[in-house]
Structure 1
Amino acid sequence: MEKQQLPNATLILVFGILSIVTCCCYGIIGLPLGIIALVLANKATKLYMESPEIYTGFQNVKTGRILAIIGIVLNAIYLIYAIWLFSTVGMEGIQEIQEEFMKGLNEGSVE
């Protein structure tokens, strides 16, 4: 009997990677990607544990699951930070911080 690839094994790995890469998008993109990857990884793990002799690609599922967990944590931390920043400083304060930062960059490049 020929072994077959676990369903969504590559997709789980890709979503896990993307959840980490997109963690700087306020958690809006990366958090759902990480959660979807984690749910798919749990389903694929259950399927693999029922009959491991007929499936390949479990290493991708394990790696994708770990990356999804890391991505969820990073996105949650960044989302909490963004909420805290908006609630304490406000939008005007954030714009002021950005303006000061840009002034510092421009002054540093002139010298």
Structure 2
Amino acid sequence: MEKRELPNSTLILVFGILSILGCCCYGVLGVVFGIIALVMSKRAIEIYNADPELYTGFQNVKTGRILAIIGLALSAISIIASIIGLVFFGGFDAWQDAMEEISRQYGG
């Protein structure tokens, strides 16, 4: 019997990578891509475990799942750091005032 690729195995890997990159966007994109990758990998693992001889690409699923977990952890840290920064360092108004001051100094 011919082996075939696990459904969405490459997409799971891509979403795992995007979850790590998304942690730089205040963590929001990292959480979104990480959760999607985890849900998709859960389904792919169930399919693979039902008949392992039939599918290839399980390594992509495992790698994507690990990257998604790492991305979720980094995103959580980024979200917590953003909240702490806003609460303890003057909030949004202080940030906006600083940006206006920089804009005035540099003629923007």
Q: Give your verdict on TM over 0.5.
A: yes
The total of aligned residue pairs comes to 102
Per the alignment, residue 69 of structure 1 pairs with 69
Q: Mark the runs of 5 or more structure 1 residues left unpaired by the alignment.
A: 104-111
Letter in 1 for 2:92: M
Per the alignment, residue 26 of structure 1 pairs with 26
**1:15 Cα deviation from its structure 2 partner:** 0.2
Equivalent-residue separation in structure 1 for 2:14 and 2:86 (angstroms): 31
**2:65 aligned with 1:93:** no
**2:41 aligned with 1:41:** yes
Q: Secondary structure at the match of 1:92?
A: helix
Equivalent-residue separation in structure 2 for 1:81 and 1:93 (angstroms): 17
TM-align CA RMSD? 2.0
Per the alignment, residue 106 of structure 1 pairs with none
Q: Per-residue displacement from partner, 1:56-84 (whole Å, max 9, x unpaired)?
A: 00000000000000000000110111112
- Normalised by the size of structure 2, how large is the TM-score? 0.85
Letter in 1 for 2:74: L
Q: Per-residue displacement from partner, 1:14-40 (whole Å, max 9, x unpaired)?
A: 000001012110111111100100111
- Normalised by the size of structure 1, how large is the TM-score? 0.83
Equivalent-residue separation in structure 1 for 2:14 and 2:92 (angstroms): 34
Letter in 2 for 1:64: G
Q: Percent identity?
A: 58
Q: Mark the runs of 5 or more structure 2 residues left unpaired by the alignment.
A: none
Equivalent-residue separation in structure 1 for 2:24 and 2:64 (angstroms): 19
